[in-house]
Amino acid sequence: MKRIGILGGGQLGRMLLQAAANYPVETFAMENDESCPAAHLCHHFTKGNISDFNDVFNFGKGLDAITIEIEGVNVEALEKLEAEGVRVYPKPAALKIIKNKILQKQFYRDNEIPTSEFLITGKKAELHQQVDFLPAAHKLAMGGYDGRGVEILRSTDDLEKGFDEPAVLEKLVSIKKEISVIIAVADNGDTAMYPSVDMVFDNRLNVLEYQISPAELPEKVLWKVEAIALKVVKELKSPGIFAVELFVDLNDNVFVNETAPRVHNSGHHTIESNYSSQFDMLWRLMLGYPLGSTEPILPAAIVNLLGEPGFTGEAVYEGLHEILQIENVFVHIYGKKQTKPGRKMGHITILSREKQELIHQANRIKQTVKVVAGTN
Amino acid sequence: MKRIGILGGGQLGRMLLQAAANYPVETFAMENDESCPAAHLCHHFTKGNISDFNDVFNFGKGLDAITIEIEGVNVEALEKLEAEGVRVYPKPAALKIIKNKILQKQFYRDNEIPTSEFLITGKKAELHQQVDFLPAAHKLAMGGYDGRGVEILRSTDDLEKGFDEPAVLEKLVSIKKEISVIIAVADNGDTAMYPSVDMVFDNRLNVLEYQISPAELPEKVLWKVEAIALKVVKELKSPGIFAVELFVDLNDNVFVNETAPRVHNSGHHTIESNYSSQFDMLWRLMLGYPLGSTEPILPAAIVNLLGEPGFTGEAVYEGLHEILQIENVFVHIYGKKQTKPGRKMGHITILSREKQELIHQANRIKQTVKVVAGTN
């Protein structure tokens, strides 16, 4: 039986381990927190720091394969493990490109993959020479995650918010849509692409409103989206699961925003809406089995459940009973003991043939389900 | 967060725990073997004997609810837990009826539920007075499981095989089909019925060949099957998941064979073929949520993977790579370290719109996938 480890024990690890139990595989997970979402669902849990060389190397040595559920892992340890024969998904070489936003942008440019115009900055003071380039997004090269490490600079007044460390300054694109495409890549280079996902943002709050799949795009734009996403994963030259996030601008030009080399929030609906989910797919490819089917069962939407503003403490879920009365609504609670404002606590998937029904139910769920803090 | 326990840690517990990770629930499981299929997938595993009063009572006290994955549990402990306020699925009163084949048959007769004719025997010697009743199946009242505790008595020559303990002698029915119906019953009495399942036996070897759902039955026979199955669960007056197994005879009469008060092998296809699986459904009802949808996504077949005759030892799975190339084939390996002849080691589900395709692929899988013993 193959022995496979996951670096990180959050919700992605949790859903990976749910899927793992279908296969002949002995599972390992490492995270700093023994009560993390994935800790109780693996054969062997190790308390450790995924960004520490020794912790990662000691965890991975002797395993057949290792994967990640977050980019902030020690890549040097993964390189050493790879050199010693452990299969690493994604390959450390690909992960290094993606972890560093400067290298990632240069990778797109070097491979003629459309991406927004950018400049590289080392110190905050350099921004004063780039006023003509604004409005732009300033993104820290290393360590950004989930909205941290990004500042929008619209005018000279904003320059003070910029980063004093290596960063990318990306010209803002007039975005019509944000699209994500999940692609699986097997060891032998075979690929399987899921239908594209429309990430619908609340422009006022700049938070993800809901996701809907398949995305509604003119056929020619969809072709561009799919061709570009496929080129990204081909050029990364690594097996694994990849989420390529793209912008469609007002003129239907398509740009790559960024790529995640792992299972991804924008693929959670695949658990119910596709015959083989992104989680199932990763096990198939790590175990050397043929890729599964990405065919959709029904169109889907998902809503992320975020900790309600103003509540910190033991999580309580309100409204689940009401929304589980809706046909083909599926709840995924991540088992995090503590909620805090904006923390990802779960997601809810809706399946329906009708797009309007998906949007209607997504909005209803957003109004009904709240993660608050209580005593139970 | 509710605390819910499972008595038994086999494959049913494993698949229950895979589904549990979607919900806000703290999970407990008890089994005598720390390396059982479910042990690593719960929050709290207890090594203990599910048929022992103290072990079951100590495991269950303080939980919000408890369920079973096998009938051979200590019912007296469950009764005491119920009296102390723990919700028990199924209710101990229903479990007591079902655990004892004499009580189960009397239950059907008392509630005018069609079942094959039967007599009750206490000692083997009594069988000599019942020769006119043959051919019949002699079934031990208590302790039979998975083919054990059943003898077919065709003539006086066979009487020696009969049981010398309380047992039921059931007149053999000329069976055209064996059907299973899975029904969920909520605390408030709401029910949800899955499409019926055709259990296709190899008559030569008397082993289950494959299962296919929905069953192919004339409409009027299907109505009888569904009405009778529903009457069984209504009269048992217990929430939970129930598998009602029925015979259809050559004249299209329908008889209840037996009922299992738990998730069941004949419902495994519901993981992929129905929007809410039998495992998801049990969590929904134990957590007090509305029942899920039993609507089929696509028709399904399943093949059980049994340990290959002649092999005992560490399990190795042959042929998985080949059959995972088939579209919409799903593997479920139960993670049992040791294989032995006939042991249930996993199952494989096939989805297809075409019944002939389901049968063709079921046969191909039976010929291709083997569970043998090896050193890896």
Q: Contact at 8 Å (CB) between A28 and A5?
A: yes
> In this complex, is the C-beta atom of B22 within 8 Å of any C-beta atom belonging to chain A?
yes
Name the pLDDT band for A376 (thresholds 50, 70, 90).
very low
pLDDT of residue A146: 63
Q: What DSSP designation does A307 have?
A: B
> In this complex, is the C-beta atom of B83 within 8 Å of any C-beta atom belonging to chain A?
no
| pTM score of the predicted model | 0.95
pLDDT of residue B206: 66
pLDDT of residue A374: 82
φ, ψ of residue A39 to 5 degrees: the values are: -60, -35
Distance, in Å, from the CA atom of A36 to the CA atom of A159, rounded to the nearest integer, reads 38
> At B211, which helix (H) or strand (E)?
strand B207-213
> At A56, which helix (H) or strand (E)?
helix A53-60
pLDDT, tens digit (0-9, with 9 covering 90-100), for B25-68: 999 999 999 999 999 999 999 999 999 999 999 999 999 999 99
Task: Give 3-state DSSP helix, strand, coil % of chain B, rounded to 5.
Answer: 30, 35, 35
Amino acid at A26: E
Name the pLDDT band for B375 (thresholds 50, 70, 90).
low
Angle, vertex CA B246, rays to CA B223 and CA B233, nearest 5: 75
Residue among B1, B14, B297 minimizing CB distance to A21: B14
pLDDT of residue A205: 67
Please give the residue of chain B at the shortest CA–CA distance from A324: B290
Contact B332 A14 (CB under 8 A): no
Distance, in Å, from the CA atom of A314 to the CA atom of A14, rounded to the nearest integer, reads 19
Name the pLDDT band for B374 (thresholds 50, 70, 90).
confident
Q: Contact at 8 Å (CB) between B371 and B339?
A: yes
In the structure encoding, which two tokens stand for residue A161, read together? 């918010």
Angle, vertex CA B180, rays to CA A271 and CA B76, nearest 5: 90
- Chain B residue numbers with beta carbons less than 8 Å from the beta carbon of A321 are 288-290
> In this complex, is the C-beta atom of A372 within 8 Å of any C-beta atom belonging to chain B?
no
> In this complex, is the C-beta atom of A347 within 8 Å of any C-beta atom belonging to chain B?
no
> In this complex, is the C-beta atom of A101 within 8 Å of any C-beta atom belonging to chain B?
no
Please give the residue of chain A at the shortest CA–CA distance from B338: A1
pLDDT of residue A147: 66
pLDDT, tens digit (0-9, with 9 covering 90-100), for A267-316: 999 999 999 999 999 999 999 999 999 999 999 999 999 999 999 999 99
b (16+ CB within 10 A) / e for B267-288? bbbbbbbbbbbbbbbbbbbbbb
Per DSSP (E only), the strands in B334-373 are: 338-339, 344-351, 370-373
Residue B260 makes CB contacts below 8 A (sequence gap 6+) with: B71, B98, B242, B243, B245
Contact B24 A275 (CB under 8 A): no
- Chain A: closest CA distance from residue B18 (Å): 5
Q: Note which residues in 269-288 of chain B have CB less than 8 A from chain A.
A: 272, 275, 284, 288
- Beta bridge partners of residue A347, listed in sequence order: A304, A332
Whether CATH 3.40.50.20 fits B2-89: yes
Reference B163, options B122, B209, B117; nearest CA is: B122
Contact B331 A22 (CB under 8 A): yes
Superfamily of domain B175-373: ATP-grasp fold, B domain (3.30.470.20)
> At A4, which helix (H) or strand (E)?
strand A2-7
pLDDT, tens digit (0-9, with 9 covering 90-100), for A196-229: 999 998 776 667 789 999 999 999 999 999 999 9
pLDDT, tens digit (0-9, with 9 covering 90-100), for B240-274: 999 999 999 999 999 999 999 999 999 999 999 99
> In this complex, is the C-beta atom of B42 within 8 Å of any C-beta atom belonging to chain A?
yes
pLDDT of residue B205: 67
Contact A289 B332 (CB under 8 A): no
- At residue B223, the 3 state secondary structure works out as helix
Q: Which residue has the tokens 């309580």?
A: A316
Least confident interval from A43-57, B77-91, B100-114, B126-140: B126-140
B357-B358-B362-B365 Cα dihedral, nearest 10 degrees: 60
> At A278, which helix (H) or strand (E)?
helix A278-286
Residue B192 makes CB contacts below 8 A (sequence gap 6+) with: B183, B184, B276, B281, B291, B292, B293, B294
φ, ψ of residue A221 to 5 degrees: the values are: -70, -40
Distance, in Å, from the CA atom of A56 to the CA atom of A80, rounded to the nearest integer, reads 10
- Chain B residue numbers with beta carbons less than 8 Å from the beta carbon of A284 are 324
Contact B333 A24 (CB under 8 A): yes
- Beta bridge partners of residue A89, listed in sequence order: A67
CA atoms within 13 A on the CB side of B297: 26
Average pLDDT over residues A55-60: 98
b (16+ CB within 10 A) / e for A108-145? beeeebebbebbebeebebbeebeebbebbbbbbeebe
CA atoms within 13 A on the CB side of B8: 18
Q: Contact at 8 Å (CB) between A175 and A189?
A: no
Average pLDDT over residues B4-16: 98
Residue among A14, A328, A351 minimizing CB distance to B21: A14
Contact A24 B327 (CB under 8 A): no
pLDDT, tens digit (0-9, with 9 covering 90-100), for A160-205: 999 999 999 999 989 999 999 999 999 999 999 999 999 998 776 6
Q: Which residue has the tokens 């259809």?
A: B248
Query: What is the number of CB-based contacts under 8 A between chain A and chain B?
Result: 81
φ, ψ of residue A302 to 5 degrees: the values are: -130, 150
Name the pLDDT band for B146 (thresholds 50, 70, 90).
low
Contact A42 B42 (CB under 8 A): no
Contact A317 B24 (CB under 8 A): yes
Please give the residue of chain B at the shortest CA–CA distance from A350: B275
- Beta bridge partners of residue B112, listed in sequence order: none
Residue among B1, B284, B331 minimizing CB distance to A324: B284
- Chain B: closest CA distance from residue A356 (Å): 20
pLDDT of residue A224: 97
- The residue among A23, A270, A287 with the most chain B CBs within 10 A of its CB, best to mutate, is A23
Q: CATH 3.30.470.20 spans which residues of chain B?
A: 175-373
- The answer, yes or no, to whether residue B148 has pLDDT greater than 80, is no
Q: CATH 3.30.1490.20 spans which residues of chain B?
A: 117-171
In the structure encoding, which two tokens stand for residue B36, read together? 């059982």
Q: Contact at 8 Å (CB) between A318 and A372?
A: yes
- Beta bridge partners of residue A300, listed in sequence order: A213, A351
Residue A27 makes CB contacts below 8 A (sequence gap 6+) with: A4, A5, A6, A17, A20, A41, A42, A43, A44, B40
Angle, vertex CA A121, rays to CA A117 and CA A126, nearest 5: 115
Q: Note which residues in 109-168 of chain B have CB less than 8 A from chain A.
A: none
pLDDT, tens digit (0-9, with 9 covering 90-100), for B184-225: 999 999 999 999 999 998 776 667 789 999 999 999 999 999
Reference A48, options A57, A361, A40; nearest CA is: A57
Residue A348 makes CB contacts below 8 A (sequence gap 6+) with: A302, A303, A305, A323, A329, A330, A331, A332, A365, A369
Angle, vertex CA A63, rays to CA A61 and CA A69, nearest 5: 95
- Chain A residue numbers with beta carbons less than 8 Å from the beta carbon of B376 are 1
Q: Contact at 8 Å (CB) between A65 and A286?
A: yes
Fold classification of A117-171 (topology level): Dna Ligase; domain 1 (3.30.1490)
In the structure encoding, which two tokens stand for residue B259, read together? 């009922």
b (16+ CB within 10 A) / e for A309-334? eebeeebbbebbeebbebbbbbbbbb
Distance, in Å, from the CA atom of B138 to the CA atom of B297, rounded to the nearest integer, reads 40
Q: CATH 3.40.50.20 spans which residues of chain B?
A: 2-89
Reference A3, options A58, A77, A50, A65; nearest CA is: A65
Name the pLDDT band for B376 (thresholds 50, 70, 90).
very low
> In this complex, is the C-beta atom of B21 within 8 Å of any C-beta atom belonging to chain A?
yes
pLDDT of residue B294: 97
